[in-house]
Structure 1
Amino acid sequence: MLTTGNDTVLSKRATKTANTDEFLLTQFEKAEANLFHAKDNPEGIVNMGTAVNRVMEVELIERLTKPDALRFEQRYMHYFNNSGLLELRQAVADTLTRHLAPDNPVSPDNLAIMNGAGSCLDALAYTLCDPGDVVLTPTPVYTRIFTDIEERGQVDVMPIVCKAVPDNAEESFRLYKETVEDKILETQSAGRRVRALILVNPNNPLGDIYPPGLLLDIMKICAKYAIHFISNELYSLSIFDEDANFQSVLSFKDIPDPERTHFIWSMSKDFALAGFRTGVIHTCSSSVMKCLGKIALYQCTPSLIQHASATLLSDKAWCDDFYLKINRQRLRDRYSCCLARFRGAGITVRKAKAGLFIWFDLGPYLRSRTKEDEMDLFQEILKRGVYIVPGTQLYCEEPGWFRASFAVSEVELEEGLKRIQQVVEERKQKGQVSWSTY
């Protein structure tokens, strides 16, 4: 570490950031450096760990390369409204209204555009919280929520632990309103201020959808304690279970505390455009919007990309009747393939309804249910050429659960599943199984 006298070159917070080893980023870089390709690199790594939707890439490229999408104009050379181009905010408002809140129209005036959902979380941490405040979120959950809130906002994220139930995958990791309120009271009794609660709905990694009644109960609890409720709905247009009953927070008519209720969405997951860095915050609070409009200067999405995003969303025939419809069907097919293969191999799976992931239990194939043995199995699977995410890296308390993305090409999916099954079968044959409960 470079020093000048008694001082380091970096600030304390920068030193912490620079020296933090982030598991998902590290493994992503390893996979990218040696990606599987059926012809060019058949021994490479099948990346089923990164949250990227690849089932509609060809169709997206075809649409984006039409003359009206990535089209350069003189106006894109100049400054623009930091909160986002009106054409994109209007297109997002119309899309969210059509699909999530048809009886409760979304206004573009309540939207702020940021460069990705991570930036949205960072901006809300700055806007809503003071350093040392607490944000709660149910776990297991996407790891970056902790980083996005904590890193620059200096806010502490604490888990509301949802536990596995032995021999009952469907009841495992359920969230209850009583658990939420108990965690709030426990944290407050320790002298900490709970400032916000983040709910990922549909859930990553579970693929679960929270019942509307539970959402309302949690919003009421947040209102009771003057806590901001943030609904992270990144996978809300990727619901592949035709019987699912999803209700966006945008659609509720009587929100208990509108000033403290906020919504996040992006183009990264539903539209497979993580590289576009286009995230959205919806809020009905004029105070929150005023702050977001100013700090958005540091987290803007380029205007050329905003125009391309608006073009996709405004093309209703392509967006609604083609892209979203086919995307859901392909996600359903890939998930069904994964589910059948894992269950056929005797692997326990928690049924998903939305998103890009299958959440499955390899605990019986650990020597013991410890984080160390979970990581040993992860490394064994990685050496076989598949990157999946160990559950403890997603704040799952019970070692042995893993998250795999099925939103990859059919060739990658087949190769990845084959390699995972090979590792499991070899452990069975060697007697390297515990069959232990939690």
Structure 2
Amino acid sequence: MPDASFLSQKGSKAAQNPIRVDLKIYSEAMENLYHPKTNPSGTLPMNIAENQLCWEMLRERIQKVTREKNIPDWVANYTDSNGAPCFRKSTAEFLSQFLFHCPVDPDSLAFSVGATSVIEMTSFLLANPGDTAVIPAPSYPVYSGDIGNLPGVLRFDLQLPGGFKDSEYDFEISLLDQAKAEIESKGSQFRMLILTSPDNPTGKIYREDHLRKIASWCMDHQIHLVVNEIYGLSQIDITHPELQSDYPNPAPFVSFGKLMNELKSPFLHFWYSFSKDFGISGFRIGLLHSHNAALIQGYQNAGAGHCISNYTQWVMQEVLDDHAFLNSYFKEFKTLLTQAYITFTKGLKNLQIPFNPSRGSLFVWLDLSEFLEEKSESGEEKLWLDIYKKTSVLLTPSQGFGHQQRGWFRVVITSISPSEMEVALDRLKGFVEDQRGKSCR
């Protein structure tokens, strides 16, 4: 552990607390990656939310831009800290055409270097230190640091009733009343409600009627509702013949941006990033969409240190303007994502491993509770490490997701190739059969 005695209190805390608990093992795994010929016993990391399914397709389009286009002069200069006007315009048209299906005002957008920066900036501008953000559990563990490290906002994990067997959230408004009362009894203020749809890690969505009820409650109580649709275009084709039976009477996915366009409330906001749907987490492009003019202005005034490289904005503007390419890209992405999901869940079904049916995202949320020696956080960690030690398949541990049901783990199905997926499934099969064999002895 490094000596942090000469740092600030926040600096000392940061030095001693990693962003997430699996990063050290992930770094080790990346040094010993599986290769069918040169390293057949190597590791298969399936814990980091990266999308590699269509990178070659997108890379080819980006290289075409850099080969054939001259870099405009504005790229070398300072521009609007909320994003270059031409880039905001192209992104507004992209959101309108592919996600919201309604008009988007470019001036309602503000950009920062990645989703983390957007979450941090939004929390800093909407909430005071010590205020609370409510997040339905299970949810993205790193929200805690994004809203807490610099903004000083507390996380409240809202426990939703029921198990993990549905592809849509059944959300009771009374839960928000209960959370508000509990938070206020502790001397804090319920300032933000953060939803992710499709969700991380479950892949569930929030139905339009529920979103409307939640938005109405938040507006009535002057609480900021933020919906994160970072996986908005990472949707499973639930009409596929091999999947239809898992989705009885599914509701259509409706972007929160459409409701925002209708309601125009200063308490409704939207997050997005290009990292997941486009598979370019390294490009660091995140955005806030809001009809709250003061929030957008505050973002512009306070966000100079979070600006995206103008070169990155220009390259992606050229890609976003090519709607014919985007149509082809997202069609191919949906096909490959659906196939990866089918392959992995078919393997789970063969092993009789329960999982939550996903509507979207890059994940499968699966139940390995039968292999827990004890239903506790330490029991989950032991099982997670045991799986990795015996299979070299690295799952996402459940620590930090905030839910109370023990034994559930997240698997990223877009971070390895189809052939590697088969290897991972075969290794997990060996682990499961071995564990079940021990219990029968």
Structure 2 length-normalised TM: 0.91
Offset, 1:142 = 0.9
> Which amino acid counterpart does residue 191 of structure 2 have in structure 1?
R
Q: Distance in 1 between matches of 2:260 and 2:168?
A: 31
Q: 1:95 is matched with which residue?
A: 94
The CA distance in 2 between the partners of 1:83 and 1:172, in whole Å, is 34
Question: Distance between the aligned counterparts of 1:141 and 1:10, measured in 2?
Answer: 31
- Partner in structure 1 of residue 246 of structure 2: none
Amino acid at match of 1:180: L
2:271 is paired with a residue whose SS is strand
Query: 1:257-302: CA deviations, max 9, x gaps?
Result: 7101110101100000000000010011110011101222111110
Partner residue of 2:189 out of 190, 193, 217: 193
Counterpart for residue 243 of structure 2 = none
* CA distance, structure 2, for counterparts of residue 409 and residue 293 of structure 1: 40
Structure 1 letter corresponding to 2:356 = R
Q: Paired residue for 2:223, among 200, 223, 227?
A: 227
Question: What corresponds to 1:330 in structure 2?
Answer: 336
Displacement of 1:173 in angstroms is 7.3
Letter in 2 for 1:336: I
* CA-atom RMSD in angstroms: 2.1
Letter in 2 for 1:292: Y
- The 1-side partners of 2:186 and 2:337 are apart by 44
Give the distance between the partners of 1:96 and 1:172, measured in 2 at CA.
Answer: 23
Indicate the residue corresponding to 2:427 in structure 1.
419
- Residue 127 of structure 1 is matched in structure 2 by 125
Runs in 1 of length 4+ with deviation above 6 angstroms?
A: none
The CA distance in 2 between the partners of 1:307 and 1:419, in whole Å, is 44
Change (3 A) 1:72 1:42: farther
Comparing 91-100 with 234-243, greater Cα deviation is found at 234-243
Letter in 1 for 2:254: Q
> Out of 286, 289, 295, which is 1:282 matched to?
289
The letter of the residue matching 1:276 is: F
The yes-or-no answer on 1:156 pairing with 2:154 is yes
Structure 1 residues 155-164 or 44-53, which shifts more?
155-164
Change in Cα spacing, 1:25 to 1:319, as seen in structure 2 (3 Å) is same
Partner of residue 10 from structure 2, selected from 7, 10, 13: 13
Q: Work out which of the residue numbers 410, 424, 429 in structure 1 matches 2:418.
A: 410
Report the Cα offset of residue 174 of structure 1: 4.7
Task: Mark the runs of 5 or more structure 2 residues left unpaired by the alignment.
Answer: 240-250
Task: Work out the CA distance in 2 between the residues paired with 1:214 and 1:173.
Answer: 9
2:165 is aligned to: 169
Name 2:349's counterpart in structure 1: 343
TM-score between the two structures when normalised by the length of structure 1 = 0.92
How far apart, CA to CA, are the structure 2 residues paired with 1:171 and 1:64? Answer: 35
Aligned-residue offset at 1:53: 0.6
Query: Retained in 2: the 8 A contact 1:138–1:175?
Result: no
- Quote how far apart the aligned CAs of 1:256 are: 5.6
The match for 1:372 among 370, 374, 378 is: 378
Structure 1 residues 74 and 327 mapped into 2: Cα distance closer, same or farther (>3 Å)?
same
How far apart are residue 432 of structure 1 and its match?
7.9
**Aligned ranges 1:203-222 → 2 under 5 Å:** 203-222=199-218
Structure 2 counterpart SS, 1:199 = strand
Residue 387 (str. 1) matches residue 394 (str. 2) = yes
What is the aligned partner in structure 2 of residue 180 from structure 1?
Answer: 176
**Relative to structure 1, is the Cα distance of residues 152 and 345 closer, same or farther in structure 2, using a 3 angstrom cutoff?**
same
Once residues 62 and 97 of structure 1 are traced to their aligned partners in structure 2, the CA distance between those partners, rounded to angstroms, is 25
The one of 140, 143, 153 aligned to 2:141: 143
- 1:168-225 Cα distance to aligned partner (Å, 9 max, x none): 7339975432222321222123321111110011101000111111111111111122
**Higher mean Cα deviation, 305-314 or 235-244?**
235-244
What is the SS of the residue equivalent to 2:64?
Answer: coil
1:138–1:160 contact (8 Å) kept in structure 2: yes
2:234 aligned residue (233, 238, 251): 238
Gaps of 5+ in 1: 434-438
Change (3 A) 1:201 1:82: same
**Percent of pairs with identical residues:** 28
Secondary structure of the corresponding residue to residue 397 of structure 1 = coil
Q: Is the 8 A contact 2:275 2:282 kept in 1?
A: yes
Please list the CA deviations of residues 334-361 of structure 1 after superposition, one character each: whole Å capped at 9, or x if unmatched: 1011111101111011100101101110
Alpha carbons 1:283, 1:289 under 8 Å: kept: yes
- TM-superposed CA distance for 1:42, in Å, is 2.4
User: For this pair of structures, how many residues does the alignment match?
Assistant: 425
Q: Deviations over 1:386-416 (max 9, x none)?
A: 1111223322311111110111311221121
Match of residue 56 from structure 2: 58
Match of 2:244 in 1: none
Instruction: Tell me which amino acid in the other structure corresponds to 1:355.
Output: S
